[in-house]
Chains A and B, each alone.
Chain A
Amino acid sequence: QQQVKQSPQSLIVQKGGISIINCAYENTAFDYFPWYQQFPGKGPALLIAIRPDVSEKKEGRFTISFNKSAKQFSLHIMDSQPGDSATYFCAAPTGGGNKLTFGTGTQLKVEL
């Protein structure tokens, strides 16, 4: 069973600052690592994902950094905004096929 360790559990960042969330995974032969954003009472939304043939992927203010040798990947949110306040989950493939195991989540609060 794939384990995904996510940190920190909660994070407070000032508006305009950089939010950084980290995840570590166990052995995997698969090549897809997504991040999801979830607002209260809503389903998770796919935010950004990376395949380990690259070490970094950027989409707007969101960047994934991937370190295959260390089995770690992180989400960076540049110029954080109050609207980014949400819970973020990383995930990694598990059990073969297309199942995902999710991290424990990081509750981000961006203060004015």
Chain B
Amino acid sequence: DIVMTQSPDSLAVSLGARATINCKSSRSLVDRSTGKDFLAWYQQKPGQPPKLLIRWASTRESGVSDRFTATGSGTDFALTISSLQAEDVAVYFCQQYYTSPVTFGPGTRVEI
């Protein structure tokens, strides 16, 4: 199985400041024929299911704030929240779907 790790486990950021979450996979997530990275990012708030923010490593979902930017390729990825707002308090997960079984990172808790 592909192992996904995230850092840090949690971070506290001031309102309006930048937050960056890192995600690393145990093997490359790039499909050589398409150049696409099979990596997604989710946001989960208490009592809610995860919400897809980013697919293909950097493609923002419709309706997701442009404060969320995702970068990276291969085995190293990052999700940046450019100006943290109160509604961004949540746990963030990365997920690889390059191969079955699909696996998730352990999550990063973002607080104010």
The answer to whether A and B assemble together is no
Which residues of B does A touch, CB under 8 Å?
none
